[in-house]
A and B are shown apart, each in its own frame.
Chain A
C-alpha cells in the first residue's frame, strides 16, 4: 500500500520532470531568435550563391568569340536516359572543301531532364556543363525546351586536337 502510493507520486513527478525537459528545449529556442535558420528567399536573391557544382540546368559554355566546343558527336544524346537531348547536325564544307559535321541545334528538354549528369560526364570534348540557374518556373511547357548553342556560334577549332 505504502509503496504503491510512493510509486504513484514518484511516477507523477518523473513524468512532470520529463515534460519540463522538453519544454526547456522549445523555450530555449523561443528566447534565442538568433537560431532562426529560414532563408528569406526572394529578398536574398542578390546574395544567394549556389554551390559551384550545383546542378541547375545543362548549359553549353560559349567563349567571348561565340565559340563552343560541341562537335555534334551525339554521345550525350545516346547517354541520356530520358531522351532529353536532341542534336540536329548539318554537313557544311570546311576550308579544305570536305563536308564536316557541325551542330545546327543542340536541343535540351529541361522538362524531361533528371540531372543525372551523364551527358556532362561523358562528353568527349567537355562542351556541356551544369549551370546554376534554378528558377525554372515558366507559364508554358514549351519554354522548357531550350536550344543550347547560341545563334551564329561556331565550333572552337583548337578544341579538336
Chain B
C-alpha cells in the first residue's frame, strides 16, 4: 500500500506532477479545466481543456430567425450580455442598411457602458477573491447591484436582458432611467476610491500582481488578446476608438493603455476603464434625444444574400459577428469571434515559470467567462 503512495506522491526531478485545476475549481470561475504540470510549486506548462459548457450556439443560430438570435447571444458572455446583443443587432442593421434613430444609439451606448462597469465590478470582486481577499467580493457585488437595479427597472431582467432587437429597442426605457443613472454615478464615484484603498494600494496585492504573467505587446497581438488584457500590454485595440459604432463617435473618452503587460497593468486598465465609463455615461445621460425607440422594421427580417461583419468592444475584448446570409429569414452561417477564446490560450505562454498561486492571479486578471469560450 505505502509503496503505491510513495510512487504516486513522491516524484523525481524529471517526472511530471500534473494536477487538474477544474472543471470544478474555485479559481476557474466556471467549468474550465487547466491541466497544470508542476515542478514543486512552479508551473512548467499548462493545457486548457474547454468544451464543458459547449451548447452549439452558432449551430443553433442557423435554425432561428434574427430577432431570436439575440437572446442566445446573451448566453455567451453573460456579464456583457447587452454588448453581445448589440453586436448582432448592428450587424443585421448594417446588412439591411437601416439607420436607427439617434435615441436608440444613445441608449445603446449608455447600456453598454453600464454593462461594462457592472462587468468590471464583478471582475474586481472575483479577482480579489482569487487572491484571497474575500471581502472584495461583497463590496463589488454590492455596487453592481445598483446597476442591476437600473436594468431591472427598465428591462425587467437583471443579467440576461434581451432588451435590444434589430432596428432599435424592445420598448422605451423607464422614465426614471436617467435619474437613476445619475444617482449611481454619484454613488459609485464615492465607492471606487475605496476599492483602491482596499486592494490596489495594498502591498500584499501589489507584490502578488506586479511582474506576474508578463505579456509583451507582440504576444498580445500574436494571440489576439484584446480588451483590457491586450491594452494592459500596450496594444491599442479598443474597437470603440478604432471603429466607432452607436454613439461612441459623439463622446470624448480616452483609451486606457498600460505598457507593463503584467497582471497589475491589466488590473489598472480595468480600474481606469470604470472611471472612464462613468465619464462617458455623464456625457450621454443628459443628452438622450427624443424620438422613436425603434426604426421601422418589417415583421420578418430577411438579410440580402451576402456576408456581413461587425465588431464591438465587450468588457473583455473584441467580439466580432460574421453572418453569411442566403436570403432567408435564418442565417446560413453565423460565427462569433469571442474575446475570451483568444484570451484563454495565452495562459500557457504567460504563466509557465511562475508559481501556482500566480496562475490563479493571471487567470483572474484575464477575466475569463467560460460560456463565452465554449459558446
Q: Which residues of A line the B interface, CB within 8 A? A: 14-15, 18-19, 21-22, 24-26, 37, 51, 53-55, 79, 81, 114-118, 121-122, 130
4 nearest A-B pairs in the assembled complex, by CB-CB distance: A116-B71, A81-B68, A15-B203, A55-B156
- Chain B residues near A79 (CB-CB < 8 A): 65, 67-68
Contact B162 A117 (CB under 8 A): yes
Which of these, A14, A18, A51, A115, contacts B153 with CB under 8 Å?
A51
Residue of A nearest to B196 (CB): A21
Cβ–Cβ contact A25 & B157, under 8 A: no
Which of A18, A26, A55 contacts B157, CB < 8 Å? Answer: A55
A24-B197, A55-B157, A81-B72 are known; give 16 further A-B pairs, CB within 8 A: A18-B201, A18-B206, A19-B202, A21-B202, A22-B201, A25-B194, A26-B135, A51-B152, A53-B174, A55-B155, A81-B68, A114-B71, A114-B160, A118-B162, A121-B165, A130-B156
The minimal Cβ–Cβ distance linking B148 to chain A, given in whole angstroms, is: 11
**Cβ contacts under 8 Å, A118 to chain B:** 67-68, 71, 162
Which residues between 141 and 160 of chain B lie within 8 Å of chain A, taking CB atoms? 142, 145, 152-157, 160
A79 to B155, CA, bound (A): 19
Q: Which residues of B contact A130 (CB under 8 A)?
A: 156
User: A54 contacts which chain B residues (CB < 8 A)?
Assistant: 152, 156-157
- Closest-by-CB residue of A relative to B152 is A51
Asked if B305 CB lies within 8 Å of chain A CBs, one says no
Instruction: Report B-chain residues with C-beta under 8 Å of the C-beta of A116.
Output: 68, 70-71, 162
Cα distance, A68 to B77, chains bound together (Å) = 38
CB distance from A141 to the nearest CB of B (A): 20
Taken together as a complex, chains A and B put the C-alpha atoms of A37 and B142 apart, in Å, by 7
Quick check: B198 and A53 within 8 Å, CB to CB?
no
Nearest B residue to A39, CB-CB: B145
Q: Of residues 51 to 109 in B, which have CB atoms within 8 Å of A's CB atoms? A: 64-65, 67-68, 70-72
In the bound complex, what is the Cα–Cα distance between A121 and B194 (angstroms)? Answer: 42
Q: Can you list 12 A-B pairs with a CB-CB distance of less than 8 A? A: A14-B203, A15-B203, A19-B202, A22-B198, A24-B197, A25-B194, A53-B155, A53-B174, A55-B155, A81-B64, A116-B162, A118-B67
CA distance A25 to B71 in the complex (A): 40
Main secondary structure of the interface of B (DSSP, over half): helix
CB-nearest residue of chain B to A36: B142
**Chain A residues within 8 Å of B67, by CB:** 79, 118
Chain A residue, CB-CB nearest to B207 = A15
Contacts of B156 in A (CB 8 A): 51, 53-55, 115, 117, 130
In this complex, what residue of B is CB-closest to A25? B198
Contact partner of A115 (CB less than 8 A), chosen from B142, B157, B203, is B157
B153 near A53 (CB under 8 angstroms)? yes
B9: interface (CB < 8 Å): no
- A15 CA / B206 CA spacing, docked (Å): 10
Number of B residues, CB within 8 Å of A: 32
Chain A residue nearest in CB terms to B165: A121
Complex CA gap A18/B204 in Å reads 9
Minimum distance in angstroms from B44 CB to a CB of chain A: 32
Output the least CB separation between B296 and chain A (Å).
15
B70, A18: Cβ atoms under 8 Å?
no
B299 / chain A contacts, CB cutoff of 8 Å? 122
Q: Which residues of B contact A22 (CB under 8 A)?
A: 197-199, 201-202
**Which residues of chain B come closer than 8 Å to A55, judged between CB atoms?**
155-157
Give the shortest distance, in Å, between B357 (CB) and chain A (any CB).
19
- Interface set, chain B 297-317, CB cutoff 8 A to A: 299
User: Could you say which residues of chain B place their CB within 8 Å of the CB of A24?
Assistant: 197
Task: Name B204's contact: one of A19, A51, A122 (CB within 8 Å).
Answer: A19
Cα A7 to Cα B286 in complex, Å, equals 50
Give chain A residues whose Cβ lies under 8 Å from the Cβ of B194.
Answer: 25
Tell me, in angstroms, the Cα distance from A130 to B198 when the chains sit together.
42
Is B170 among interface residues, defined by CB-CB distance under 8 A?
yes
Quick one: closest B residue to A11, CB to CB? B203
Q: A15-B203, A53-B154, A116-B70 are in contact. Are A21 and B197 (CB under 8 A)?
A: yes
Contacts of A19 in B (CB 8 A): 202-204
**Nearest B residue (CB) for A37:** B142
Closest to B133 in A: A22
Tell me the complex Cα distance, A115–B160, Å: 9
In angstroms, Cα B156 to Cα A115, docked, is 10
| Complex contact A25–B197 (CB within 8 A) | yes
A82: shortest Cβ distance to chain B, in Å?
9
Residue of B with least CB distance to A120: B170
CA distance in complex: A93, B71 (Å): 40
Given the interface contacts A25-B197, A26-B135, A130-B156, does A18 sit within 8 Å of B68 by beta carbon? no
Q: Which residues of A contact B198 (CB under 8 A)?
A: 21-22, 25-26
